[in-house]
Amino acid sequence: MQPFEYNPNPGRVVFGSGSIKKLPDEIKRLNKSKPLLLSTPQQADQVKALEPILKDGSIAPAGLFSEATMHTPTHVTEKALQYTRECGADCVVSFGGGSTIGLGKAISIRTGLEHVCVPTTYAGSEMTPILGETAEGRKTTKSDPKILPGTVIYDVDFTMTLPEGLSATSGVNAIAHAVEALYARNTNPVINLMALEGTKALAESLPIIVNKPHDVDARSKAQYGAWLCGMCLGSVGMSLHHKLCHTLGGSFNLPHAETHTIVLPHAIAYNSPKIPETMQRLADVLPESHGDAIRGLNVLLTKLKVKRGLKEYGMKEEDVDKAADIAVSNPYWNPREIEKEPLRETIRRCWAGEEAKADL
């Protein structure tokens, strides 16, 4: 066996239907009493459902900031920080997906406030010490153990109304975390177990959710898979897939989960010549792969009825060259050398919505 290093994630997880009722106790456990609630504008009404739960536990929310948005733009963070100071919050509770949790991380790392997450999607951001922020059209990421939320409450009840389409793309986004962890430079056996188990759970549950969105067992299985995949993202380095998605999302204002969904099979196809063992292990946990991981991913995306082209989200064909230039401008580790022309063709295929194939 190859030598490795493993650093366990110190975050606390509370998992199960109805676990939101434990939120007051979790805040008290941190010796806090005035949480700032965070959400997107679309979830402002839903997050208000936490207020009576908190009050029943003798916790009075300091306020609600409901302007979280994708890619965590710094101007929104500055506005949220001012509100945090004005309302006198002593901790932050993020309710939602990656956009809201990203804002919670941005506030927490700047202020030192404890951060509690209530995820309502499968994005996995709540399990990572990584913060991606956008300023002046460029998305940058930083990693710091202090960014990792301290407590995460996984209550499947809050995922039951997640639209089928967003469930699908959010879940594939989670799978992407696990897939890149399998061939990360600093991967290890524990993370590999989590990555394969998380991918399997999501690949099996997401098609059920798309056709039966109120299936509680499938929703619970997907949330379990998302937790494991998020652990992978938070524990080892990422490569081409995540670099491409950050470039595309931050530079062209493309939706986060949808971009990850489109890019994943193409990024894996690009790297496939250099990761044969990973490709086999991935094929083994993808239904209907017939021993071919790229086929398995293509079949999964077909079953999930998701859009396959970035052009469907507003990316222009002339942006392909710009995206390739940005993607190669900052060197980063990847199992296959980053070559501009094959990478440009990979991005073009993502733009056009073609099926992935390993021929570059």
* DSSP-assigned states of every residue in 185-219: TT--HHHHHHHHHHHHHHHHHHHHHHH-TT-HHHH
Please indicate, yes or no, if residue 4 is contained in any of the structural domains: no
pLDDT score of 246 more than 90: no
pLDDT score of 232 more than 90: yes
Other CB atoms within 10 A of residue 145 CB: 10
Query: Is 172 found in the same domain as 80?
Result: no
Please indicate, yes or no, if residue 2 is contained in any of the structural domains: no
CB 233 within 8 A of CB 128: yes
Query: Is 324 found in the same domain as 187?
Result: yes
Query: Is 172 found in the same domain as 66?
Result: no
| Alpha carbon distance 296, 285 (integer Å) | 9
Alpha carbon separation from 86 to 70, 101, 111 (Å, rounded): 24, 21, 13
Query: How many folded domains does the chain comprise?
Result: 2
**Which structural domain range is residue 171 located in?**
164-352
Side chain identity at residue 150, one-letter code: G
Q: What was the pLDDT predicted at 208?
A: 98
Q: Return the CATH number at 49.
A: 3.40.50.1970
* Residue finishing a domain among 157, 183, 209: 157
Q: Which residue do the tokens 């997050």 mark?
A: 47
| Alpha carbon distance 250, 299 (integer Å) | 28
Query: Is 297 found in the same domain as 172?
Result: yes
| Bridge pairing between strands 138-143 and 130-135 | antiparallel
Q: Structure tokens of 331?
A: 């060197």
Among candidate residues 305, 284, 308, the one with its CA nearest the CA of residue 296 = 284
| Alpha carbon distance 100, 218 (integer Å) | 24
Return the H-helix or E-strand segment holding 141.
strand 138-143
pLDDT tens digit string along 260-289? 999 999 999 999 999 999 999 999 999 999
| Alpha carbon distance 168, 60 (integer Å) | 35
Q: Residue 7 — very low, low, confident or very high, per pLDDT cuts 50/70/90?
A: confident
Considering the chain, what percentage of its residues have pLDDT values greater than 70?
Answer: 100
Return the H-helix or E-strand segment holding 107.
helix 98-111
Considering the chain, what percentage of its residues have pLDDT values greater than 90?
Answer: 88
Please indicate, yes or no, if residue 348 is contained in any of the structural domains: yes
Q: What was the pLDDT predicted at 141?
A: 84
CB 149 within 8 A of CB 186: no
CB 351 within 8 A of CB 317: yes
* Residue finishing a domain among 92, 122, 157: 157
Query: Is 100 found in the same domain as 181?
Result: no
Query: Is 303 found in the same domain as 182?
Result: yes
Please indicate, yes or no, if residue 91 is contained in any of the structural domains: yes
Please indicate, yes or no, if residue 42 is contained in any of the structural domains: yes
Q: What was the pLDDT predicted at 1?
A: 79
Cα end-to-end span (Å), the chain = 31
Q: What was the pLDDT predicted at 286?
A: 98
| Bridge pairing between strands 91-96 and 130-135 | unpaired
Query: Is 279 found in the same domain as 188?
Result: yes
Q: Return the CATH number at 314.
A: 1.20.1090.10
* Residue finishing a domain among 130, 157, 184: 157
Please indicate, yes or no, if residue 3 is contained in any of the structural domains: no
CB 227 within 8 A of CB 311: no
Q: Structure tokens of 14?
A: 């509370």
Q: What was the pLDDT predicted at 332?
A: 86
Q: Residue 8 — very low, low, confident or very high, per pLDDT cuts 50/70/90?
A: confident
Please indicate, yes or no, if residue 359 is contained in any of the structural domains: no
Query: Is 22 found in the same domain as 53?
Result: yes
Query: Is 108 found in the same domain as 228?
Result: no
Please indicate, yes or no, if residue 281 is contained in any of the structural domains: yes
pLDDT score of 291 more than 90: yes
pLDDT tens digit string along 307-324? 999 999 999 999 999 999
Query: Is 297 found in the same domain as 168?
Result: yes
pLDDT tens digit string along 294-310? 999 999 999 999 999 99
Query: Is 236 found in the same domain as 128?
Result: no
Query: Is 110 found in the same domain as 61?
Result: yes
Q: 154 forms bridges with which residues in the sheet?
A: 15
